[in-house]
Amino acid sequence: MKKREVKKPQRILSYIDFGKHSTYLVDYAYQLSRLIDAELYLLHTVTDFKRAAGFYVPHINTDKIEEEIIQAAKDKLYSICKQIVGDKIDSGHRIVHRGNPIDVINEVIFEKQIELLLLSHEVSSGTFSGFRTDFAEKFMKNPSIPFLVIPIKAA
């Protein structure tokens, strides 16, 4: 395929960070996936705290805590989807993994053969705007597939 040829993506991944704009991003991703008749996956990552927790608090069963955190994130992702599109995004398309978001995004891209990534980007101009963590900017440094950045106005 020539670089100038555009191929309709069959599988879309949208990274959801549970920010205030998450419902907007799910709605946008869902509408886009219906518009181009593509399969939609939603992804959220939870922090891998086992390494630090084991060192600082060795008496706590981190496996149980991690399971509870992952289940809570799955429940939250389901709740957002239910609010926006009902049950139209099944559990197999709502993914929650632990780890670094960029690493996990790239793993899911490879595993699910994703062809387009949707990311949000908070647009702000305040004093502290340069100090926020922005996954869109991190992914843009070394993209593995085409991506679409959805601008979100900071509240």
| Crossing angle of helices 22-35 and 62-85, rounded to 10° | 60
Alpha-carbon span 40 to 131, nearest angstrom:
31
pTM above 0.85, yes or no: no
- So what's the pLDDT on residue 57? 56
* Interacting residues of 60 by C-beta distance below 8 A, sequence separation 6+: 53
Decide if 147 contacts 116 (C-beta within 8 A).
yes
Mean pLDDT of the chain: 84
Q: Higher pLDDT residue, 149 or 79?
A: 79
Sign of CA dihedral 114, 140, 123, 3: negative
Phi, psi of 123 (to 5 degrees): -95, 115
Structure token digits, residue 4 = 């100038």
Instruction: Identify the H or E element spanning 21.
Output: none
Q: Higher pLDDT residue, 8 or 62?
A: 8
Categorize the per-residue pLDDT at 116 as very low, low, confident or very high, splitting at 50, 70 and 90. Answer: very high
Report, as an integer, the average pLDDT of 70-82: 96
- So what's the pLDDT on residue 65? 82
Alpha-carbon span 53 to 14, nearest angstrom:
29
Q: Which residue ranges form the domains of the chain, and what is each CATH number?
A: 29-153 (3.40.50.620)
Q: What is the pLDDT of residues 26-49, one digit of tens each?
A: 999 999 999 999 999 999 999 876
